[in-house]
Structure 1
Amino acid sequence: MTDAEDRRPQSERARSMYAHPAGGGTAVDTESSTTSEFTLPEGLAMGRPAVPESETTSEFALPDGLDTPPAPAPETEGSAFSLPSGFGLETLHAFTPATGLPAVDLVKDAPWQDRMRTVLRLPVAERPAPESAQRTADETGPAVPRVLDLTLRIGELLLAGGEGAEDVEAAMLSVCRSYGLDRCEPNVTFTLLSISHQPSLVDDPVTASRTVRRRGTDYTRLAAVFQLVDDLADPETVVSLEEAYRRLAEIRRNRHPYPGWALTLANGLLAGAASVLVGGGPLVFLCAALGAMLGDRLAWLCAGRGLPEFYQFTVAATPPAAIGIALTLANVDVRASAVITGGLFALLPGRALVAGVQDGLTGFYITAAARLLEVMYFFTGIVIGVLVVLYFGVKFGAPLNPDTALGTSQQPVVQILASMLLSLTFAVLLQQERSTVLMVTLNGGVAWSVYGAMHTVGGISPVASTAAAAGLVGLFGQLLSRYRFASALPYTTAAIGPLLPGSATYFGLLAIAQNEVDKGLLSLARAVSLAMAIAIGVNLGSEISRLFLRLPGAGSAAGRRAAKRTRGF
């Protein structure tokens, strides 16, 4: 290295190593110029002019000869629910999970209640697509607002008739799916029904609601509504929207199967049969029947004046208690406690109690709380009516002993016949179809036979005996409803009549009237325990029947998934 090169700055030496030769790409071979080993060989032309030294380029620049693709057009700002580009509605299956549709086998031969419970307990994303069974007259598809309105009207009749919230939701979902409406969400509370339908991910949901203003006990109307839903769910039976509306209007206008005088007579026979169950004789039977019929007429009078049901129950509870106190003051050799107990049997709200506990066990806690609160109000009205009469009876010196226990007679045949008569009259009060009265009468006789065998003969506690008997009632009722594709209420509600805790309620009220509050509360707690045992037993029997009579062809995974309601394992 010479002295001149040593005196040259380092920056110039570094730049000269990578400098392009002058002349547009031809290397200059002189002794004074220093070339780099990366310099292009002589004779090799560049595709474009060399970049001047002063121009700074990025290391991410495209190589020569590569065409830059055109920039995409900017997307217009849209909704988060907009479809992806190139994805049409005809190929869209909204709410489909990544793993595909679930393998849920909905057997058409199974009752629609079971199939709709399976769908209802699945998340919306896992529900199979409906098989449209009904169409409108022009075959253009269902009119969504009219289908939703029909669904709400059907649900209103079911809820007002005392049906459980789960069965009401299953019926509403069945009606919607019958007309091809997918992605429907019914919601049932004690007084409000609503349903929402979303056609697709990009469409706004359509929501409708309806309020239940009045409730009535008419199981004939309830059975007719179930038949309508069954026809809608049957793909072989074509029911247009107009035909469904017409049938629904006929159901609303349908007269009760039994006249008013028959209901009053049935009320009296029910009280008389209940008095026989607690050890009463023929005179007690007549007195209890007379008191119950007087209470029924007074309740009808209050209802005609527009008084709430609380006061109707209060007024209806006074005549049986007054007759029992009068017989005691007249020193008539009858069991006044059996007369009062028989009158209480006709008033205890067993139907509302069973429906409330069933809603709680199936996860509808708001509806269950409302139903049980209604039962508490009815029970409080009965308590007030009986307590007022008992208080005056004690003041007048009626020899009433709260420690006396009512027993059953030693005539099992008479007891079984009395229980069957009680169930028969209870079915008449519930306005059941005549074709179901015989079956529910036999079911009530079976319930009392099981209770008597376990408690009287076997010495088992009354709570356990009552729960076992009520479980058989629920099991048989569910089997009969499956056989006829109908509601289970007409086969279970009247059959639990002989098991209602009338005597425990009476003795609790009598102890409170005589200032023995501790004994009274203990007896009332026993009555509540018996009532809860009845309700839980009925629901348990129904669940056992569904557990062992699952849908044919449904796998264990489908059954496991269908068993989930709100939470679980």
Structure 2
Amino acid sequence: MTDAEDRKPQSDEARSAFRVPAGSSVTQVTQVIPVVPAAEAESSTTSEFAVPEGLTAPRTGTAESETTSEFAVPNGLDVTPPPVVEPEGSAFSLPSTYSASQAPPAFTPAGGTPAVNLPHDVPWQDRMRTMLRMSVADRPAPEPVHKAAEEGGPAVPRVLDLTLRIGELLLAGGEGAEDVEAAMFAVCRSYGLDRCEPNVTFTLLSISHQPSLVDDPVTASRTVRRRGTDYTRLAAVFRLVDDLSDPQNHLSLEEAYRRLAEIRRNRHPYPGWALTAAAGLLAGTASVLVGGDLIVFVAAALGAMLGDRLAWLCAGRGLPEFYQFTVAAMPPAALGVALTAAHVDVKASAVITGGLFALLPGRALVAGVQDGLTGFYITASARLLEVMYFFVGIVTGVLLVLYFGVKLGAVLDPDAALAMSRRPVLQIVAAMLLSLTFAVLLQQERSTVLLVTLNGGVAWSVYGAMHDVGNISPVASTAVAAGLVGLFGQLLSRYRFASALPYTTAAIGPLLPGSATYFGLLSIAQNHVDNGLVSLAKAVSLAMAIAIGVNLGSEISRLFLKMPGAASAAGRRAAKRTRGF
């Protein structure tokens, strides 16, 4: 082998490009390099980005196999930590940034916050109605509760259930929506439940109670399925609410439930035959009121009793009330047409008018208009729609009979309305008897029958004095007479701390527009549609005058004729809104 071949490197020698050349002196790096076995060293493949041997680089402290994100924050850069998220809680919980010491000043009206003082000698209806028309923040706190035997007070769901059951009986009995809300509010406050908001519609009752500003509200509701007229039961419910509202009566929740169950189980004060006889007597006295004689009295009474029995038969078969009113209106009209066809010298119009008096829904009409005037428009619309259906049912029944009577040759004179005789004493007696029989039909307590009878006599006397003697329009005369009925009825109810319906509903019976309704239907049956519509419009005007007069009389009694100690409760807010705002 020559010297040149000796200088040529061997082909199987592996030399590194970073190998220190011969003759160069490099300071030795004092770094301990782990020894790798020869087999592992030969098989390992190094990356081109690997750190060369002998070169030290600062480490980040993380493992070499850890993969960092491209969004990772570089070392040395300070970032503000994200805010702590509040745990999920109630919608009424206070924010974490809220501080009571640094809270802004509360809004105060320009006139200041009114001081409310509600003495207990004022009827609970006025006290509860006053608080319902105030904002929640301005209502006075309820009195300490002493009506629960268990420690900590009664259970909120049970109190709300009792409240709804009481409201159901009142609404089903025909009470106005505002009075039902006042009664429900009184029951809740009697058991110490503040921040309660009752809500009443035609078929649904609901109430919501919020224990505090940071607690979830508790809401319950109840549906009114059946309705019935029983003013005795209505008066018993009012006495229960009055006892609950009295702080001197420590009525427990169980005792209230027991009394409520007894009220629901009570039977009607009058049997069925007495109601049928009262319906006949009402129709007979109404026929005398519009000029009838003894024969007319008997015929109207027989027709009304027959119609009442037919309506009971339809009710037992499950027919709706529309058909019940239609069937009940047919017998009095049929008797009137039969007397005319038989050429009997009687006023057939008085027979038919008397039968209509027993069917006209005056109670529902007054309640519907009252709800509308106090701001309960949904309930008022439903009540007035119910009245319209009842009225259409009566119209259908009478028109069918009158149409066939005219076709058979019966001579019915619409101008007979102009020939009504004036018998003041007899008509006043008939009006009082009509109110008495109406009170029996409404299942009133016997103690209230005499008072409502006198109230009905006063109403007819005022109407006769204004219309017959003073020649004032019938609509204005009816409105004034109904206003006095509402005034006296409200005074009597405040004296007894009871509902005003038993003292007003039966007393407006003599004022109901029975004759105007009949003559309007007769004109339509004889193809005199224009005259018929005019007469029916008059009947509607009289009905609205009755309802508005009753409500206005009640409002006047509350505003100006206050009982002793009620002066401090005079700050009675307007219902819902004023002047459209």
TM-score under structure 1 length normalisation: 0.83
Q: 1:428 aligns with which of 421, 440, 465?
A: 440
Cα deviation digits, residues 545-568 of structure 1 (max 9, x gap)? 011034755668x63452343345
Q: 1:312 aligns with which of 302, 319, 324?
A: 324
Per the TM alignment, residue 119 of structure 1 is displaced from its structure 2 partner at its CA by 0.4
Aligned partners of 1:109, 1:72: CA distance in 2, in Å?
Answer: 64
Partner of 2:200: 188
Which stretches in structure 2 are left out of the alignment for 5+ residues? 1-79
**SS of the residue 1:399 aligns to:** coil
Aligned partners of 1:201, 1:105: CA distance in 2, in Å?
Answer: 24
Matches within 5 A, 1:406-555: 407-550=419-562
Partner of 1:215: 227
Partner of 2:271: 259
Aligned partners of 2:525, 2:548: CA distance in 1, in Å?
Answer: 31
Q: How many residues align?
A: 493
Aligned partners of 1:378, 1:317: CA distance in 2, in Å?
Answer: 11
Aligned partners of 2:147, 2:201: CA distance in 1, in Å?
Answer: 30
**SS of the residue 1:209 aligns to:** strand
Partner of 1:154: 166
- Return closer, same or farther for 1:170/1:520 CA change in 2, 3 Å cut-off: same
Partner of 2:300: 288
Aligned partners of 1:252, 1:436: CA distance in 2, in Å?
Answer: 21
1:166 paired with 2:175, answer: no
1:327 paired with 2:336, answer: no
Partner of 2:261: 249
Partner of 2:135: 123
- Return closer, same or farther for 1:482/1:384 CA change in 2, 3 Å cut-off: same
**SS of the residue 2:208 aligns to:** strand
**SS of the residue 2:417 aligns to:** coil
Partner of 2:119: 107
Per the TM alignment, residue 101 of structure 1 is displaced from its structure 2 partner at its CA by 6.8
TM-score under structure 2 length normalisation: 0.82
Partner of 1:360: 372
Aligned partners of 1:260, 1:564: CA distance in 2, in Å?
Answer: 41
Per the TM alignment, residue 402 of structure 1 is displaced from its structure 2 partner at its CA by 1.5
1:559 paired with 2:570, answer: yes
Aligned partners of 1:406, 1:240: CA distance in 2, in Å?
Answer: 62
Matches within 5 A, 1:217-236: 217-236=229-248
Cα deviation digits, residues 243-298 of structure 1 (max 9, x gap)? 10110010000000000000000000000000001000011000000000000000
- Return closer, same or farther for 1:147/1:350 CA change in 2, 3 Å cut-off: same
State percent identity of aligned pairs.
Answer: 82
Aligned partners of 2:447, 2:567: CA distance in 1, in Å?
Answer: 36
Would the aligned equivalents of 1:142 and 1:180 in 2 still touch at CA under 8 Å?
no
Aligned partners of 1:132, 1:239: CA distance in 2, in Å?
Answer: 13
Q: 2:408 aligns with which of 383, 390, 396?
A: 396
Would the aligned equivalents of 1:356 and 1:367 in 2 still touch at CA under 8 Å?
yes
1:373 paired with 2:389, answer: no
**SS of the residue 2:299 aligns to:** helix
Would the aligned equivalents of 1:279 and 1:406 in 2 still touch at CA under 8 Å?
no
Would the aligned equivalents of 2:145 and 2:153 in 1 still touch at CA under 8 Å?
no
Per the TM alignment, residue 85 of structure 1 is displaced from its structure 2 partner at its CA by 7.2
**SS of the residue 1:338 aligns to:** helix
Amino acid at match of 1:203: D
Matches within 5 A, 1:55-94: 77-78=86-87, 81-83=92-94
**SS of the residue 1:109 aligns to:** coil
**SS of the residue 1:207 aligns to:** strand
**SS of the residue 1:196 aligns to:** strand
Which stretches in structure 1 are left out of the alignment for 5+ residues? 1-70
**SS of the residue 2:147 aligns to:** coil
Question: What is the root-mean-square deviation in Å for CA atoms of aligned residues?
Answer: 2.3
- Return closer, same or farther for 1:328/1:564 CA change in 2, 3 Å cut-off: closer
**SS of the residue 2:416 aligns to:** coil
Amino acid at match of 2:293: G
Q: 2:312 aligns with which of 289, 300, 322?
A: 300
Amino acid at match of 2:574: A
Would the aligned equivalents of 1:277 and 1:408 in 2 still touch at CA under 8 Å?
no
Would the aligned equivalents of 1:474 and 1:541 in 2 still touch at CA under 8 Å?
yes
Would the aligned equivalents of 2:121 and 2:566 in 1 still touch at CA under 8 Å?
no
Aligned partners of 2:443, 2:146: CA distance in 1, in Å?
Answer: 31
Aligned partners of 1:373, 1:84: CA distance in 2, in Å?
Answer: 48
- Of stretches 224-233 and 399-408 in structure 1, the one that deviates more from structure 2 is 399-408
Amino acid at match of 2:327: V
Partner of 2:77: none
- Return closer, same or farther for 1:419/1:369 CA change in 2, 3 Å cut-off: same
Cα deviation digits, residues 301-336 of structure 1 (max 9, x gap)? 000000000000000000000000000010111110
Amino acid at match of 1:504: A
Would the aligned equivalents of 1:121 and 1:562 in 2 still touch at CA under 8 Å?
yes
Would the aligned equivalents of 2:374 and 2:575 in 1 still touch at CA under 8 Å?
no
Per the TM alignment, residue 134 of structure 1 is displaced from its structure 2 partner at its CA by 4.5
Per the TM alignment, residue 394 of structure 1 is displaced from its structure 2 partner at its CA by 0.2
Cα deviation digits, residues 131-189 of structure 1 (max 9, x gap)? 14542112321210000000000000000000000000000000000000000000000
Cα deviation digits, residues 41-61 of structure 1 (max 9, x gap)? xxxxxxxxxxxxxxxxxxxxx
**SS of the residue 1:317 aligns to:** helix
Aligned partners of 1:126, 1:460: CA distance in 2, in Å?
Answer: 47
Q: 2:150 aligns with which of 138, 157, 165?
A: 138
**SS of the residue 1:129 aligns to:** coil
Aligned partners of 1:564, 1:379: CA distance in 2, in Å?
Answer: 30
Would the aligned equivalents of 2:169 and 2:234 in 1 still touch at CA under 8 Å?
yes
Per the TM alignment, residue 475 of structure 1 is displaced from its structure 2 partner at its CA by 0.2
- Return closer, same or farther for 1:231/1:97 CA change in 2, 3 Å cut-off: farther
- Return closer, same or farther for 1:164/1:259 CA change in 2, 3 Å cut-off: same
Amino acid at match of 2:552: L
